[in-house]
Structures are given as C-alpha cells and as structure tokens.
Amino acid sequence: ASITACTIPSLSEPWPHLHSETPSDTCSGPAEIYTMLPTPKKGYGLFATRRIARGTTVILEAPLVVIQPPPLTLGQGYEISKMLDSLRAEFAKLSPPNQKRYLALHAHVFPSEEGKERLMPILRSNAFNTGTGLGLFPIVARINHSCRPNAAYFWSERLGRRVVYAGRDIEEGEEISISYIPLLKTTKEREQRLAQYGFTCECEACEASRGGDSRSDDARAEMQVMLDQLESEVLVPPGEGLMAEKKEEGLIKNSLRLVDMVEEEVLVDYYAQVYKLAATTHGRSRRWEEGAGWALRSLEIREMADEHSAEAMEMRQMAPRFILESKKYMGEGLC
C-alpha cells in the first residue's frame, strides 16, 4: 500500500510513545516527503512518502534544547549531575507546548532510573551533537538507526540546524535510517555502542554477521585500519626519489581500495571523507586530473549536507587548484 503523504503532525501535539498506539493526528499537516509511522519493533520511525533522490535534504531542523556538557572526566565520561542541572534549566525555559514535545519523545530508561524524572533518559536516547553542545531535535529524533543507513546527517554551524539528506535514493515507503554510531566497527562492537539506546540492531549487515557471514565485519575492521593509516600518512609531506614515489603509489592504491570498500558496504556517511582522501593521494603524486575528479565527488556530497560548510569550501578550492595544476603540468610537458 502506498503511504499517505503527511508530515509529522503539529509538533505542539505530543505523540504518545506507546509502540502499539497510532498517533491521533497522523496526517493533518501539508504534504511532506516523510511521515511518522509505528513500526513492529522499533517504536515510531520516519518513512518516505515518495521516492527521495540521493542528495535531497530530508530534514533541516533547529534544536529544541541545547546543553553544553561539562568537560569529560577521563575514563568516566560526563558528570551526569552537572548535565542534569543545565538540562533542567534549559527545559524550564521552554514554552509548555515545547515541554510537551520534549516529554513525548522516546526514552530508553535504565533500571536505576525507573519511575524517576525522564529528562535525562530522553536526552540520552535522542540527542545529537551541535558542535560543542548536545541538542535535541524532535523530528530527527524519530529516525531509527541502521548500520547500513540510507540517509546521512550533518550539524551545520552556519545554519544552526541539523541537516538530514538522502545518502542514496530512498524508495517510496522505505524507512529513512541514519546511524547513531561510528560504522567502521564489527557487529559486536556496534552492539556494545547501541546498548545505551536499549536495542539490538537487526539491519541486514548485523543479521548477516549473526548468521555467520563475516564479510561485512571483516571489511569494516579493515576499512577502519586503512582510514586511520591514510589519514595520518597524508599529513606527512611526500618525499623525493624512487622509494618515495613507490610509497605514494601505495597510498593511491589504498585510497582507491578504501573507496571501493566503502561503496560496496554502502556506508554513505563516509563517502565524502574517502573521496577527499583519494583526491589528496592523487594530488600528492601530481595526478591532478584524477585528483580533481575525486575532489568534485567529495564536493558533491559535502554540498548535499551544506553547500557553504567549511568542508564544501575546502573541496571547492581543491578541485580547481588541481585542474589548474593539471593544465600547468600539461603545458610543461608540451614545451
């Protein structure tokens, strides 16, 4: 059945977070490209009401609440009591309808928190970073997790908004998913990270691994090693001579392999980063044209998130610089 186009209803109306209950006001808003629907196992989720092409901005949302976490205590994380004080203060500043919106969100409650105030469990279950702070975005908060998500997100400091965009084409009726955690981890490691949200992911990557197929896990572990290595190697200026040239060839080969692996796993969150690495490794070997191609691919992704972001600007400078170099280089060859 096709999905009725509707928006998340007037968000001043809190939706009960009862997984079996359908919100009363499901389709009162203007036509939107997503709608919120109950799912059998994940609570509510957002679903595409029409085909969403790769690169489309799905949500652009300002935070309802932002708190600045206290400094991290090494090995202990944040001091919760300090966060709770600032959270209470920010919550008190909200209008009553916005307080209702906050309280209507899902909370994964730890046993020690049963029957207690829900402010912190709600924040912990739904917050995303906002540069230096932690923010609660009531619409983005309805997107469920997948270890192979179809959407990616980005905090735009310039816009003061979280941007969710389609990392690949999303079909009508398909659930929109993002990742809550770093994805270059094995299923076991991801399970540990997701435990704080109180669920076990059943996406196809997790299920394949639980079924004994270790290809995705092996690839993700390898990608993390390659990514770390490449990121540190490109910080060192290239050397001179045959040995150095060979080393640079190795970097190019590895960056291209990393691109292939990331694309094969469809890890949309990593595309811009690995395309930039491929641009950088080619640039180091003066393979300007190919480098410019990779820079443009990275730019395309960065522009999906925010065309004016620092990351987009960086690629917008790198691509023409490489093209200019390639022209100079060709000119030199002709003389």
Ligand X SMILES: C[S@@+](CC[C@H](N)C(=O)[O-])C[C@H]1O[C@@H](n2cnc3c(N)ncnc32)[C@H](O)[C@@H]1O
How far is 275 from 176, CA to CA, in rounded Å?
Answer: 24
- Whose Cβ is closer to ligand X: residue 26's or residue 326's? 26
Site map 145..174 versus ligand X, x via CB under 6 A: xx----------------------------
Q: Which is nearer to ligand X, 114 or 240 (CB)?
A: 114
- Residue 106 lies near ligand X (rule: CB under 6 A): yes
Name the 3-class secondary structure at 165: strand
Among 83, 141, 277, 318, binds ligand X (CB under 6 A): 141
Burial category of 321 from C-beta neighbours within 10 Å (exposed 0-12, middle 13-18, buried 19 and up): middle
Q: Are strands 133-136 and 65-67 parallel, antiparallel or unpaired?
A: antiparallel
In this complex, which beta carbon is closest to ligand X, that of residue 136 or of residue 166? 136
What b/e sequence results for 194-205 when a residue is b if at least 16 CB atoms lie within 10 Å of its CB, and e otherwise?
A: beebebebebeb
* Residue with the CB atom nearest ligand X in the bound state: 43
* Structure-block tokens of residue 70: 């206290």
Does residue 329 touch ligand X according to CB under 6 A?
A: no
Least distance to ligand X, CB of residue 42, Å: 4
Distance CA 82, CA 79 (A): 6
Nearest alpha-carbon partner for 302 in 289, 313, 293, 317: 313
| Rounded least distance, CB 67 to ligand X, Å | 17
User: What mask of x and - would describe binding to ligand X in positions 26 to 65, judged by CB under 6 A?
Assistant: ---------------xxxxx--------------------
Among 29, 55, 173, 198, the residue binding ligand X under the rule CB under 6 A is 198
What is the Cα gyration radius of the chain?
Answer: 22
Contact set with ligand X (CB under 6 A): 17, 41-45, 106, 108, 125-126, 141-142, 144-146, 197-199, 201
